[in-house]
Amino acid sequence: MNSLSNRAVEQLLGAPGPQRWRITQSLIGLTGYLALALLLWLGSAGEGALLDRARVQPPALAMLLAGLSGYALMRSGRNRALAAVWGCEPSLTLPQSLIGLMLVTWVYAVTGAARGAVLALLVVVVMFSMFALGRRQAVLLAAVALLLLAAVMHAMTLADPFRYRADVEAVHLALTALVLTGVTLLSMRLARLRQRLRDQRTALARALEQLSEIATRDDLTGLPNRRAMGELLLTETARHARLKAPLSLALLDIDHFKQINDRLGHAAGDEVLRGFARRLEAELRGADVLARWGGEEFLLLLPGTDAAQALQAVERLREGLRLQPFDGIEPGMQVSFSAGVGLCLGQGDIDSAIERADRALYRAKAAGRDRSEPA
Ligand SMILES: Nc1nc2c(ncn2[C@@H]2O[C@H](COP(=O)(O)OP(=O)(O)OP(=O)(O)O)[C@@H](O)[C@H]2O)c(=O)[nH]1
């Protein structure tokens, strides 16, 4: 039963999303037109009716046609193509409101003594449209509504000055102008509030992005930090176990870094860390990830790489580093690193694999530095 009603809603309103909202709005418009056409029909029924059937029938039919075509346009999705051609938003609010205004002023012209009530409808059309329009379009729409009304009133006072007195029409026009001005000012305020809300949402999204960047990046080198690498290790080991592919990691430590700091200063030491990260990253393959593990220590993750290939990759990094001396910090300055390189056998092996790499790194340091040791 539930799925049946869901299917009926889907048939009527289309798939969920922004277009469904537009279709719903067009259905609300169609309902409004239907209600007004029904009122005109009822008001013109029977002997001595308030309204003249011959005069109200054409605008009533035109309203039905407009309501149905509005729904058909949205339901078929043709509104998007039209919006692209006209350069407006896909709800087609402005053209639809202009049609609504013309129809309502037409109804005003044919409803004789009952026409005063129609003015409220004019305000309703403008009010509904203003929620979707920008400030300039809102003012334009209110101005068009008043101009249309003034033109119809003028024509009526010329055609039948006894029934349509100029002073009564002028009062109608002035009151409508007053209400429309109020509605326009209110909608401008709403538009400002909506804009502020949009700006706040954008700022919030940007702040969240920055926060996640801060939480996962090392600010000195721009590399993923220890926390991000920890998460990556968990997902990558699980993925590689599923793929039954090897995964290696290498712990890299810059040699004699304390001396660099002591001799050149902490700021130069920072610059070396940045330059080291940049140089190594430039040599890495797309899938490999280098993270700052702490101090002058880096962890390299090599997906789809066995231990022998990982050792080769680390030696390629060493060669790349050798070819790019740190001239900007001190002419001819060479920076080297020692590394422990080995396989990681799965999620449960992450900590021990890092420990094995750390012990291998210690051996590389003990053996004279600037070399790699298998873990
Ligand atoms: N400039 C700078 N120095 C750092 C940073 N993090 C750690 N260090 C320094 O890195 C140095 C590491 O020194 P040690 O652990 O003795 O190692 P080392 O001098 O590289 O010697 P070996 O590793 O044995 O070759 C310490 O002096 C730390 O203060 C940093 O972010 N910036």
- pLDDT tens sequence across 3-18: 788 888 888 999 889 9
pLDDT of residue 335 exceeding 60: yes
pLDDT at 190 over 90: no
Instruction: Work out which ligand 1 atom sits closest to the CA atom of 262.
Output: 27
Which tens digits make up the pLDDT trace of 209-222? 999 888 999 999 99
Asked whether residue 267 carries a pLDDT value surpassing 90, the answer given is: yes
Dist. CA 264 → ligand 1 center (Å): 13
Q: Of the listed 169, 236, 296, 373, which one is catalytic?
A: 296
Q: Is 369 left (phi over 0), alpha (psi -120 to 50) or beta?
A: left
Ligand 1 neighbours by CB, cut-off 6 Å:
220, 253-258, 261, 266, 269-270, 273, 295-296, 365, 369
- Over residues 248-260, the pLDDT tens digits come to 999 999 999 999 9
| 340-372 pLDDT tens trace | 999 999 889 999 999 999 999 999 999 999 999
Q: How many CB atoms lie within 10 A of CB 138?
A: 24
169 catalytically annotated? no
Domain spanning 226-374: CATH 3.10.129.10: no
ipTM: 0.94
59 band by pLDDT with thresholds 50, 70 and 90: very high
**Which position has the higher pLDDT, 89 or 1?**
89
pLDDT at 1 over 70: no
Residue nearest to atom 6 of ligand 1 (CA): 295
**Alpha-carbon distance 107 to 64, whole Å?**
13
Burial of 243 (0-12, 13-18, 19+ CB in 10 A): exposed
- Pairing type for strands 247-254 and 289-294 reads unpaired
Residue to probe by mutation, ligand 1, list 252, 253, 257, 358, most atoms within 8 Å of CB = 257
- Which residues of the chain does CATH 3.30.70.270 include? 226-374
Q: What is the pLDDT of residues 136-165, one digit of tens each?
A: 888 899 999 999 999 999 999 999 999 899
pLDDT digits (tens, 9 = 90+) for 27-51: 999 999 999 999 999 999 988 899 9
